[in-house]
Structure 1
């Protein structure tokens, strides 16, 4: 992220926006947007999506998560991690994407989605998904060589974090941020 995050305080509403390069390469297209995220912490950013928070797909479809979601982003990491706080346990959806860029005028954090994802169901094993889409995007030039290398490193780093149960993969860390997010709803 470039610069400070002026004017953002705990529980402010911000937008998390994911974009992809379209055709021709260099053109942008909306991928997914969370327009009503709640800011829990500034550096590194931690966002809260209460149950029912809208998610807007690039084609305009809107859906809502039935459970709370906590999202961690880092200024120096090529991924962000979403902990899906479900009734049957915590699942994870880890998006391999560029580090976020802050657009103060729009109160938006924007990432470039790099196709690869790591998913993990509660009590399940991690799975790398969307490999075919990633490889096609690299072949077509929508993802350049440097981004592709960063994406591969990100997958390795995520799998290491999962194996060691560090950061967002530590159940105590999820419980702490869930408590903060739920307290925000009650207040």
Structure 2
């Protein structure tokens, strides 16, 4: 990984299995960087879809990327509380000031009360055939779903409201905030 440090601004690129860029996010701010993970702050970030559609995020968020897990997790601070969006995806790399990962379609949306919903199953089933996902990738994605469901139930780490709230407060006091 490049020499990424707190306060750095990075782009985020999500690719599909065939290597095509799928979606990009501008200027997330690095909150924490280690050999195992990267924590990014998203606040009013411009998102560009492959179709050319552009939009900005509505709420501030903390985004967790992992070297050893096949998912990343966005903690969104909404008026109704903290919601989470889990992207089933390859572990990330950083290259040319850009976080890069492969999106494997499935997502889990976790609500403030801990309930959750698995999203985009049809897209996953369509793409696993058309983009020729290997058996190993398919199994890894489903194992990652099981791991996430357990973490959600246990309210561990990034699913702990107190933990992510403290991270957000630290960010606001860090001098990195807009």
Structures share fold, TM-score greater than 0.5: yes
Instruction: Give the structure 1 partner of residue 106 of structure 2.
Output: 116
Q: Does structure 2 conserve the Cα–Cα contact (< 8 Å) formed by 1:5 and 1:42?
A: no
1:107 aligns with 2:100: no
Q: Does structure 1 conserve the Cα–Cα contact (< 8 Å) formed by 2:114 and 2:152?
A: no
Instruction: Give the structure 1 partner of residue 172 of structure 2.
Output: 182
- Structure 2: give runs of 5+ residues left out of the alignment: none
Secondary structure of 1:185's counterpart equals: coil
For residues 99-178 of structure 1, the aligned pairs below 5 Å read 99-103=91-95, 106-123=96-113, 125-178=115-168
Instruction: Give the structure 1 partner of residue 45 of structure 2.
Output: 53
Measured in 1, the distance between the counterparts of 2:161 and 2:83 equals: 11
Instruction: Give the structure 2 partner of residue 30 of structure 1.
Output: 21
Secondary structure of 1:102's counterpart equals: strand
Query: In the TM superposition, what whole-angstrom CA distance separates every residue of 1:40-62 from its partner, at most 9, and x where no partner exists?
Result: 11121000011x21111122211
**Bigger mean CA offset, 169-178 vs 120-129:** 120-129
Secondary structure of 2:20's counterpart equals: strand
Measured in 2, the distance between the counterparts of 1:124 and 1:165 equals: 8
Measured in 1, the distance between the counterparts of 2:69 and 2:128 equals: 20
Measured in 1, the distance between the counterparts of 2:60 and 2:132 equals: 32
Query: In the TM superposition, what whole-angstrom CA distance separates every residue of 1:44-84 from its partner, at most 9, and x where no partner exists?
Result: 1000011x211111222111112101000110000000001
Query: In the TM superposition, what whole-angstrom CA distance separates every residue of 1:131-177 from its partner, at most 9, and x where no partner exists?
Result: 11111212224322111111001111111000000011011111121
**Bigger mean CA offset, 79-88 vs 130-139:** 130-139
Q: CA RMSD in A?
A: 1.4
Instruction: Give the structure 2 partner of residue 13 of structure 1.
Output: 9
Aligned residues: 174
Q: Does structure 1 conserve the Cα–Cα contact (< 8 Å) formed by 2:15 and 2:101?
A: yes
> Structure 1 runs of 4+ off > 4 angstroms?
none
What is the CA distance between 1:124 and its match in structure 2? 5.3
Q: With structure 1 as the length reference, what TM-score do the two structures score?
A: 0.87
